């Protein structure tokens, strides 16, 4: 560009993407394997000819690898279109298949809409649904579970990592309580923000159903899986050709499944080192942002109670939407709470449940990282907050 006789080179603004809990950019290696399946190995995995056999190898290989990451059997992996389908299949399927054993279902007050809204629907079907309280960090109050669970309880659902504030829920302790109080209950865990981020073994946690979504770990949207523990009673949502052991009929989405496997391989390569690196970034970022006047962080405080990749930040006196767009102007992308509810006007049930002060309910944004996030990016984001928050606060009407 020229101004008079002077030439000025315009540099493109570098984007800093800190909304990885909403979705991630598909990794180039994921795209590469999906393109190969779409263009070359495009057979139907149910077909008997070599194209079908090759497609079936992708599905089988993905199930074997994912099962290995969880230390379970490949037969216990059912591929889905993502987290919403996984949660819906698990909850509707378990509730309807086990109704003869009781009519009571328990969950927490801080679940993702793909769980909480299913619970509302099951309530309309006549199930007795109890939503249990959490503490100020968003962790389930296990004494409330102990009081609520009984022999009529047939299903319990608790997310492992909260999608808005990053709190790690006490799943192990909750399951131990439940097994004593409700021996017939099926346990479902929404692990969509946990898989590939923190250690996770369904058998050690003694859970029956576990949902995962591929696009949270550099895989494609429309991919995911549901772990179904052997002998778990589950009624399918989809009926048809009987694929995937009659639990999820329909021709398998082989490109997405192949991409999901590659994403899992990337996530679990040097997983411990990736996790430690994320925690170091998180610790430093939290230290930086909480040094700003009127800025606080929600959720777990320790590595045992907080996931490494999600930081919920409240900025007193600055509305979340205003701050989000101000950061966007600087090429920094974050969420106002959960991306799944960011277009809605209602206040986050999670922020309400942890007792966040009323004036902060609409003044909270979420920063979420990945193993590709750099220290320099987070320093830039913290510096932007340090500049923007005081400035924006001056123009806020009270």
| Catalytic positions | 340
Is residue 224 within 8 Å of residue 80, measured between CB atoms? yes
b/e code 18-39 from CB counts within 10 Å (16+ = b): bbbbbbbebbeebeebbeebee
Q: What separation in angstroms does the CA of 136 have from each of 141, 309, 351?
A: 10, 20, 9
Compute the distance between CA of residue 364 and CA of residue 112 in angstroms, rounded to an integer.
Answer: 17
From the list 140, 137, 150, 148, the residue with the least C-alpha distance to 190 is 140
CA-CA distance, 45 to 41, in Å (whole number)? 10
Counted residue by residue, the chain has a size of: 398
The β-bridge partners of 367 are 311
Question: What SS3 class is residue 34?
Answer: helix
Q: Is the CB of residue 191 less than 8 Å from the CB of residue 216? A: no
Alpha carbon 10 to its chain centroid, in Å, reads 38
Nearest to 158 by CA among 183, 131, 184, 135: 131
Q: Are strands 224-228 and 310-315 parallel, antiparallel or unpaired?
A: unpaired
Q: How far apart are CA 249 and CA 75, in angstroms?
A: 15
User: What backbone torsions phi and psi does residue 161 show, to the nearest 5 degrees?
Assistant: -125, 125
Q: In what helix (H) or strand (E) does residue 147 lie, and over which residues does it extend? A: helix 142-148
- What does 82-139 look like in DSSP terms, one character per residue? SHHHHHHHHHHHHHHHTGGG--EEEEETT--HHHHHHHHHHHHTT-EEEEE-B-TTS-
């Amino acid at each position: 560009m020229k101004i008079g006789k002077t030439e000025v080179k315009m540099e493109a603004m570098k984007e800093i993407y800190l909304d990885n809990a909403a979705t991630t950019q598909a990794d180039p290696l994921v795209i590469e394997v999906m393109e190969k399946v779409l263009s070359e190995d495009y057979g139907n995995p149910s077909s008997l000819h070599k194209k079908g056999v090759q497609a079936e190898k992708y599905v089988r290989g993905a199930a074997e690898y994912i099962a290995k990451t969880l230390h379970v059997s490949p037969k216990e992996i059912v591929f889905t279109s993502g987290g919403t389908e996984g949660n819906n299949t698990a909850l509707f399927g378990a509730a309807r298949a086990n109704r003869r054993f009781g009519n009571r279902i328990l969950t927490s007050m801080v679940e993702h809409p793909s769980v909480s809204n299913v619970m509302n629907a099951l309530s309309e079907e006549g199930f007795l649904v109890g939503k249990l309280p959490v503490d100020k960090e968003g962790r389930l109050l296990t004494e409330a579970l102990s009081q609520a669970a009984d022999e009529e309880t047939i299903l319990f659902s608790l997310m492992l990592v909260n999608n808005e504030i990053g709190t790690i829920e006490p799943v192990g302790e909750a399951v131990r309580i439940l097994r004593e109080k409700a021996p017939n209950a099926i346990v479902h865990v929404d692990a969509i923000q946990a898989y590939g981020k923190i250690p996770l073994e369904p058998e050690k946690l003694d859970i029956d159903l576990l949902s995962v979504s591929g696009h949270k770990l550099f895989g494609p949207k429309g991919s995911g899986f549901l772990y179904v523990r052997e002998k778990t009673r589950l009624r399918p949502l989809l009926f048809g050709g009987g694929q995937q052991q009659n639990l999820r009929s329909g021709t398998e989405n082989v490109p997405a499944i192949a991409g999901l496997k590659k994403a899992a391989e990337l996530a679990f390569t040097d997983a411990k080192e990736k996790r430690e690196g994320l925690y170091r970034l998180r610790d430093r970022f939290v230290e930086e942002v909480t040094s700003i006047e009127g800025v606080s962080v929600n959720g777990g405080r320790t590595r045992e109670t907080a996931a490494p990749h999600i930081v919920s930040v409240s900025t007193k006196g600055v509305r979340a939407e205003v701050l989000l767009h101000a950061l966007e102007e600087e090429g920094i992308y974050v969420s106002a709470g959960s991306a799944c509810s960011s277009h809605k006007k209602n206040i986050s049930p999670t922020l309400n449940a942890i007792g966040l002060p009323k004036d902060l309910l609409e003044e909270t944004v979420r920063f979420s990282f990945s193993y590709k996030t750099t220290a320099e990016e987070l320093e830039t984001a913290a510096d932007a907050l340090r500049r923007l928050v005081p400035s924006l606060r001056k123009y806020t009407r009270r």
